[in-house]
């Protein structure tokens, strides 16, 4: 039965774009979804993979060492697809850049 309610995840992008905050909110949403992807693909206790920021279609991830960076690189397409599964984020992430800290 449909009561005419709209889910918040559908309302948020519309409301945000109305007030001109869409770029910042989209970046925050991508980064949040990337954190979920890290948990899913690398485990909940993995602190060596950190989504840092999202800018101009590129998600920047920081890793502790090059071996972990290689694992992230191998899962790059899966991470992008995981983020794309969120309807409001479809097509936002074009690439993932990995930086060893």
- Mind listing the pLDDT tens digit for each residue in 19-52? 666 788 888 889 999 999 999 999 877 789 999 9
Provide the domain count of the chain. Answer: 1
Question: For residues 1 and 32, what is the distance between their CA atoms, to the nearest angstrom?
Answer: 32
Q: 1 lies in a domain?
A: no
Q: 94 lies in a domain?
A: yes
Q: 45 lies in a domain?
A: yes
Q: 2 lies in a domain?
A: no
Question: For residues 69 and 86, what is the distance between their CA atoms, to the nearest angstrom?
Answer: 25
| The pLDDT of residue 21 | 66
| The pLDDT of residue 2 | 62
Q: Are 88 and 13 in contact (CB under 8 A)?
A: yes
| The pLDDT of residue 82 | 94
Structural domain span for residue 63? 8-100
Check which CATH number belongs to the domain holding 42 and give it.
3.30.300
Q: 26 lies in a domain?
A: yes
Angle ∠(56,23,90) on CA atoms, nearest 5: 70
């Amino acid at each position: 039965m449909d009561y005419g309610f709209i889910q918040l995840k559908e309302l948020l992008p519309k409301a945000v774009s109305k007030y001109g905050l869409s770029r910042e909110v989209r970046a925050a949403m991508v980064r949040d979804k990337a954190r979920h992807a890290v948990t899913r693909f690398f485990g909940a206790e993995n602190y060596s993979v950190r989504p840092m920021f999202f800018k101009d279609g590129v998600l920047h991830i920081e890793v502790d060492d090059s071996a972990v960076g290689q694992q992230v690189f191998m899962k790059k397409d899966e991470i992008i697809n995981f983020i794309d599964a969120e309807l409001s984020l479809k097509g936002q992430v074009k690439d993932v850049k990995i930086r060893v800290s």
